[in-house]
Structure 1
């Protein structure tokens, strides 16, 4: 009984293998071009973006301001007292402020 079940299973598997084994997937030239084209399309898009960035680079506003104050690190002197006024030497970076009493970035 058990051997007949195994024999039937083996027969079904071999039948499926014989029926599907003769079929092969051929790739046409159009399908090959369709598979190849995403990489070339990406490359063309990158080239177009670089060209556009090159054109508009001169028209974009610069990040530097006129008379900009340089950045200082934490613990550096950021201001100096000039009589009743305080003049700035540099601007504290992100997450730090210039303490008016210590005149340092904290």
Structure 2
């Protein structure tokens, strides 16, 4: 029974704080609306200039970092570089790259 007044007090405090914050936030948005519009237009111009730049067209879509192509069963999946083994492709589900033969089995 002692918890009920505490819970009611917390709920009332939270509702009052929420209503005060909502009123303040809406007043701030009304004051900053012209600045927000200018910022959005500047961002749009910057994005359009970036996209129209010739360097943006030369980005490679095919080559993605961290993506290893798949290889079939029996295909070579790794290559030996001295003491290290480098991966050429990832074996299909249910198969694994044999480190002795360097093929998917």
TM-score band (shorter)? 0.3 to 0.5
- Higher normalized helix content (fraction of residues): 2
| TM-score, normalised relative to structure 1 | 0.38
Give the TM-score normalised by the residue count of structure 2: 0.39
Larger radius of gyration: 1
